[in-house]
């Protein structure tokens, strides 16, 4: 190798090192400095990866429990759902003695993350713990009813919806969920009553519309069933209940074509 070639190689290595250093410095500069919970969550919303780093930096600089919560949110945003749920549960326990209301809220968030991770049994455990802190929460009992229904523990799920309605008899979602549970367990008349109550409280309640669509289809009212299902899909195409509506709509279309 001649001197000119070796110099070119050395220069190339030097430039490569400079580019790497500059890149690292630039990446560091792009990481926002956060000092409040709102700033941290906004950073996570903008970019989960840099938001994660910002949250960790804030935590290490003494951000406390707010920073720990933001770290958990960042973990979830980056797809680490199970770890995020575990962090949420740990944080809830820290709040438990002094702030049971806050502890229950954070534990319910952990439960939601466990559901996203398809760990319904762990979600149920988290909700049971949350209810130890806030046993009269209609929202927590409703979440618990949803999880129990997902586990096909329908008798317990119905009891949970009954509890919700004893606390809040204006919960359209609870009536709609109980309608589904009653249908699944062969209580057709009770399901019809729950559908009526849910839609009287909230005419566009999606689960109630799906249940009414099933009822209408069973009675031969295919047009009415389709209208209900299309209404559900139009509300939010990405929602899980919209997927149920699309599946049922396909079944109706197949039945019509046959």
Q: What is the pLDDT of residue 191?
A: 97
List Cβ neighbours of 185 (8 Å cut-off, separation of 6 or more): 154, 155, 158
Q: What is the pLDDT of residue 173?
A: 98
| Mean local confidence (pLDDT), 72-88 | 95
Residue 219 located in a structural domain:
yes
- Are 168 and 212 in a shared domain? no
- Are 182 and 225 in a shared domain? no
Distance of CA 35 to the CA centre of its chain: 26
Q: Is the whole-model pTM more than 0.75?
A: yes
Q: What is the pLDDT of residue 257?
A: 59
| Structure-block tokens of residue 171 | 């919960």
- Are 184 and 211 in a shared domain? no
Residue 159 sits in a domain whose CATH number is 1.25.40.10
| Mean local confidence (pLDDT), 15-27 | 38
Last residue of a domain, one of 196, 216, 232: 196
Q: What is the pLDDT of residue 33?
A: 82
| Structure-block tokens of residue 38 | 């709102």
Residue 247 located in a structural domain:
yes
Measured torsion, CA atoms of residues 246, 157, 130, 116, in degrees rounded to the nearest 10: -30
Last residue of a domain, one of 180, 196, 212: 196
Query: pLDDT tens-digit profile of 188-246?
Result: 999 999 999 999 999 999 999 999 999 999 999 999 999 999 999 999 999 999 999 99
Last residue of a domain, one of 196, 226, 243: 196
Residue 215 located in a structural domain:
yes
Beta strands (DSSP E) in the chain are none
Residue 185 located in a structural domain:
yes
- Are 192 and 232 in a shared domain? no
- Are 228 and 182 in a shared domain? no
| Mean local confidence (pLDDT), 167-173 | 98
Least confident stretch, 29-38, 129-138, 142-151, 162-171: 29-38
Residue 208 located in a structural domain:
yes
CA distance 238 to 221: 26
Domain carrying residue 214: 204-258
Residue 57 located in a structural domain:
no
- Are 215 and 232 in a shared domain? yes
Residue 217 located in a structural domain:
yes
Residue 31's nearest CA partner among 45, 47, 20, 19 is: 47
- Are 223 and 242 in a shared domain? yes
Q: What is the pLDDT of residue 171?
A: 98
Residue 210's nearest CA partner among 237, 188, 182, 243 is: 243
- Are 208 and 192 in a shared domain? no
8 Å CB contact between 232 and 210: yes
Query: pLDDT tens-digit profile of 184-203?
Result: 999 999 999 999 999 999 99
Number of domains observed in the structure of the chain:
2
First to last CA, the chain: 79
Which residues in 116-143 are b (16+ Cβ under 10 Å) and which e?
Answer: ebebbebbbbbbebbbebbeebbbbbbb
Residue 151 located in a structural domain:
yes
């Amino acid at each position: 190798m001649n001197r000119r070639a070796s110099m070119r190689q050395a220069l190339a290595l030097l430039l490569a090192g400079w580019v790497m250093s500059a890149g690292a410095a630039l990446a560091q500069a792009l990481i926002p400095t956060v000092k409040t919970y709102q700033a941290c969550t906004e950073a996570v919303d903008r970019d989960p990866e840099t938001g994660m780093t910002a949250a960790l930096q804030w935590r290490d600089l003494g951000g406390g429990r707010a920073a720990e919560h933001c770290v958990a949110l960042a973990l979830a945003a980056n797809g680490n759902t199970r770890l995020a749920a575990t962090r949420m549960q740990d944080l809830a326990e820290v709040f438990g003695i002094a702030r049971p209301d806050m502890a229950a809220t954070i534990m319910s968030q952990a439960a939601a993350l466990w559901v996203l991770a398809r760990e319904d049994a762990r979600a149920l455990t988290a909700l049971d713990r949350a209810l130890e802190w806030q046993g009269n929460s209609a929202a927590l009992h409703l979440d618990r009813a949803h999880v129990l229904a997902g586990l096909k523990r329908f008798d317990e799920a119905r009891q949970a919806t009954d509890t919700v309605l004893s606390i809040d008899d204006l919960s359209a979602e609870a009536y709609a969920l109980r309608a589904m549970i009653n249908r699944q367990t062969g209580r057709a008349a009770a399901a019809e009553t729950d559908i009526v109550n849910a839609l009287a409280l909230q005419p566009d309640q999606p689960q109630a519309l799906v249940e009414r669509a099933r009822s209408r289809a069973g009675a031969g009212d295919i047009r009415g069933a389709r209208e209900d299902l299309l209404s559900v899909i139009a509300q939010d195409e990405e929602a899980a209940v919209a997927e149920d509506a699309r599946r049922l709509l396909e079944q109706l279309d197949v039945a019509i074509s046959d």
